[in-house]
Amino acid sequence: MSEPSPDARKRLDLGDTVVVATGNPHKVTEIAAILGRALPAVRFVAISELGDFPEPVEDGDTFAANARIKALAAARETGLAAVADDSGLCVDALRGEPGVMSARWAGVHGDDPRNNAKLMAAMEGVPEEERTARFRSAVCLVAPDGEELIGEGACEGMVGFEPRGTGGFGYDPLFWPDETPGKTMAELAPDEKNAISHRFHALEALAAQLA
């Protein structure tokens, strides 16, 4: 992907460092790999490398709203350009749940085993043809002056009947992507997952706005 135009760089005023508002090193690597193609002169660093900053309250009702909240907070705290994502699983049979509550659906943020157990219980008795779902992601890039861009993406699939695989995180062991028949997201190698993931599609959409 080509380097962003001078107008785009001037508008966003990114400088040479972008802070990634996450504590997940996998996200930092993925964001740097994809956005780095559009921003080859920019260094991406995790916010935890720059200090101990308070986490903002993610009270948005959409993934884009929560990504924006986190990116704006990181930009304010560090004085740097910032990028953040928010993502989750939307299950049709559950009318879109867990949605923006995905990470804390069972009550404790990031408790993957409890979240997956709650999902299996909620889907008990739902036939295969009604187990359609999708991972959704929004990624927001914010400059210190508040200018911003947002990219969104999705990965279509279905909820399995039991967890399989040890890779990934979150609901990956229960999610069967349409693009990889016979494998859950947790059974994919990192490169396979990154090539189809909702975050990949969101980052590609964001990168396209910089190209």
Instruction: DSSP for 75-100, please give it.
Output: HHHHSSEEEEEEEEEEEGGGTT-BGG
Instruction: DSSP for 162-183, please give it.
Output: S---SSSSTTGGGEEETTSTT-
- Taking the CA atoms of 36, 167, 47 and 115 in sequence, report the sign of the dihedral they define: positive
**Active-site amino acid positions:** 86
CB 48 within 8 A of CB 23: yes
Nearest CA to 202 among 61, 112, 68? 68
